[in-house]
């Protein structure tokens, strides 16, 4: 019927944007922001359950860090991925 059904105290999400990103290539480097509109976790006990959903509703974005200096200065946990 095209409507989202209310279930278990919340809405069932059938479609929509889950990851959004804006990126700009500037003379001083890449400037980018992004977020996961449905947050990181589906566990209501997790601190990541609705963190990015709140940011999305407040029209706030998270910065994407590119340089080693930006990443090292970030207060959050760090995970290094390689193509190997």
**pLDDT by residue (tens digit) across 43-78?**
888 888 888 888 888 989 988 888 888 888 887 666
What is the structure's pLDDT at 15? 61
Q: Region 21-46: what's the mean pLDDT? A: 87
Q: What integer pLDDT is reported at residue 8 of this predicted model?
A: 60
Cβ-Cβ contacts under 8 Å for 56 (sequence gap 6 or more):
35, 37
CB 64 within 8 A of CB 74: no
Q: Which helix (H) or strand (E) holds 16?
A: none
Name the band, by pLDDT with cuts 50, 70 and 90, for residue 6: low
Mean pLDDT of 1-26: 69
Q: In what helix (H) or strand (E) does residue 72 lie, and over which residues does it extend? A: helix 68-73
């Amino acid at each position: 019927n095209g409507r989202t059904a209310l279930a278990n105290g919340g809405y069932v999400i059938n479609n929509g944007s889950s990851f959004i990103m804006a990126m700009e290539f500037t003379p001083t480097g890449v400037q980018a922001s992004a977020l996961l509109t449905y947050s990181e976790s589906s566990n209501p006990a997790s601190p990541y359950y609705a963190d990015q959903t709140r940011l999305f509703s407040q029209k706030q974005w998270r910065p994407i860090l590119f340089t080693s200096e930006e990443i090292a200065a970030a207060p959050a946990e760090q995970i290094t991925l390689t193509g190997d």
